[in-house]
């Protein structure tokens, strides 16, 4: 048995081996003695060059197409020396070159992670495949540098590498609602080939923020003769959580019964209105606590101070005070 090897993807006519020498003949004898390739099918990959006496490639050979992942990639042909009526077996190994990039099955990936997820949580990442073999096949993955995630590589029984994203530091949607990472898959060939997949992390909201009032104290002056229904002020609390988690309702927190009849705080708009006629003589200063509450019962607090101002025309007794 004669053994040769030739790299894949070489030009047509590349010398695989000196067949005349290995058959113990002179190059010119190949024709004289009726030497020819007799195997079917794969024999088309090679031909004889009668002048040089060598076995040459008959075209480009793609190792991945021929043998896929199996190694070594061997092609067996028979050469007949007709004059002697003898068959010689020739085994040719097609060696791999690094002609393929690792490829991701899915291009880009969105991973949704709740902001309460604990460090250590793992999320599967897309895998890449490189049809080359050995060192020319996929060897490693890298994750772009970032503050929150690391890469964990789990090697399966069959040798495949499964990349996983590991949460290292807690996420905060209000600080950074999305993170963009790049996963790179590389082979070990010379030169090294690689490809990338974009990973978008979408941070899902948790109700982790309490509403906060714009002001710790709201002060407002009002004339005692304003009509019931008059708007005094609008309080506002903001909650950076998303959607329904950020929805706020307003209420009096501490208010005596008398005051609760005089003022009205609109639950949704934060508008505070006068509900009844005020009387400077009776009381010139009201102080009440208000609260803002979100759906998770997280609270924010503030104070409202209302100063009622005297209207001289309408009152005759205030001078006595």
Ligand X SMILES: *[C@@H]1O[C@H](CO)[C@@H](O)[C@H](O)[C@H]1NC(C)=O
20 in contact with ligand X (CB under 6 A): yes
- CB burial of 158-186 (b: ≥16 within 10 Å; e: otherwise) equals eeeeebebebeeebebeeeeebebebbbb
21 in contact with ligand X (CB under 6 A): yes
Choices 17-25, 61-69, 98-106, 289-297; region in contact with ligand X by CB under 6 A: 17-25
- Residue closer to ligand X, measured from CB, 15 or 97: 15
- Residue closer to ligand X, measured from CB, 54 or 186: 54
Parallel, antiparallel or unpaired: strands 231-234 and 217-223: unpaired
CB of 51 to ligand X, least distance (A): 9
- CB burial of 288-320 (b: ≥16 within 10 Å; e: otherwise) equals bebbbbbeeebebbbbbebebebeeeeeeeeee
- Residue closer to ligand X, measured from CB, 27 or 126: 27
- Residue closer to ligand X, measured from CB, 54 or 302: 54
131 in contact with ligand X (CB under 6 A): no
CB of 97 to ligand X, least distance (A): 23
CB of 40 to ligand X, least distance (A): 27
Q: How far apart are CA 183 and CA 168, in angstroms?
A: 17
284 in contact with ligand X (CB under 6 A): no
Rounded to the nearest 5°, which phi and psi values hold at 114?
-70, 145
Q: How far apart are CA 162 and CA 209, in angstroms?
A: 36
CB of 32 to ligand X, least distance (A): 14
300 in contact with ligand X (CB under 6 A): no
Sites for ligand X among residues 160-179 (CB under 6 A): none
Choices 19-27, 63-71, 125-133, 220-228; region in contact with ligand X by CB under 6 A: 19-27
Cβ-proximal residues to 290 (8 Å cutoff; 6+ apart), any chain: 213, 235, 250, 251, 252, 253, 265, 301, 302, 303, 304
- Residue closer to ligand X, measured from CB, 5 or 184: 5
Choices 21-29, 68-76, 92-100, 270-278; region in contact with ligand X by CB under 6 A: 21-29
Taken in order 25, 30, 31, 37, the sign of the CA dihedral is positive
Site size for ligand X (CB under 6 A): 8
Q: How far apart are CA 55 and CA 35, in angstroms?
A: 11
120 burial class (0-12, 13-18, 19+ CB within 10 angstroms)? exposed
- Residue closer to ligand X, measured from CB, 27 or 188: 27
Sites for ligand X among residues 35-74 (CB under 6 A): 52-54
Binding residues vs ligand X (CB under 6 A): 18, 20-21, 26-27, 52-54
């Amino acid at each position: 048995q004669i053994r040769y090897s030739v790299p894949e993807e070489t030009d047509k006519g590349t010398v695989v081996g000196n067949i005349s020498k290995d058959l113990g003949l002179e190059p010119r004898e190949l024709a004289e003695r009726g030497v020819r390739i007799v195997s079917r099918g794969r024999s088309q990959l090679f031909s004889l060059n009668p002048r040089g006496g060598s076995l040459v490639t008959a075209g480009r050979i793609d190792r991945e197409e021929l043998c896929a992942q199996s190694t070594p990639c061997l092609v067996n042909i028979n050469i007949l020396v007709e004059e002697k009526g003898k068959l010689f077996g020739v085994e040719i190994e097609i060696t791999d070159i690094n002609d393929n990039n690792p490829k991701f099955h899915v291009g880009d990936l969105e991973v949704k992670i709740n902001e309460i997820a604990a460090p250590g949580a793992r999320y599967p990442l897309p895998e890449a495949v490189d049809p080359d073999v050995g060192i020319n096949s996929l060897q490693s993955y890298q994750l772009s540098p970032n503050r929150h995630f690391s890469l964990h590589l789990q090697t399966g029984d069959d040798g495949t590498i499964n990349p996983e994203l590991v949460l290292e530091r807690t996420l905060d949607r209000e600080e950074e609602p999305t993170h963009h990472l790049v996963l790179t898959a590389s082979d070990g060939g010379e030169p090294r080939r690689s490809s990338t997949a974009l990973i978008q992390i979408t941070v899902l909201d948790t109700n982790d923020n309490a509403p906060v009032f714009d002001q710790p104290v709201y002060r407002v002056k009002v004339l005692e003769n304003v009509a019931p229904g008059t708007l005094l002020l609008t309080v506002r609390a903001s909650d950076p959580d998303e959607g329904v988690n950020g929805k706020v309702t307003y209420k009096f927190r501490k208010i005596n019964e008398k005051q609760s009849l005089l003022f009205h705080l609109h639950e949704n708009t934060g508008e505070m209105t006068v509900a009844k006629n005020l009387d400077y003589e009776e009381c010139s200063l009201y102080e009440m606590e208000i609260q803002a509450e979100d759906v998770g019962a997280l609270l924010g607090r503030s104070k409202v101070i209302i100063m009622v101002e005297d209207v001289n025309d309408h009152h005759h007794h205030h001078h006595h005070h």
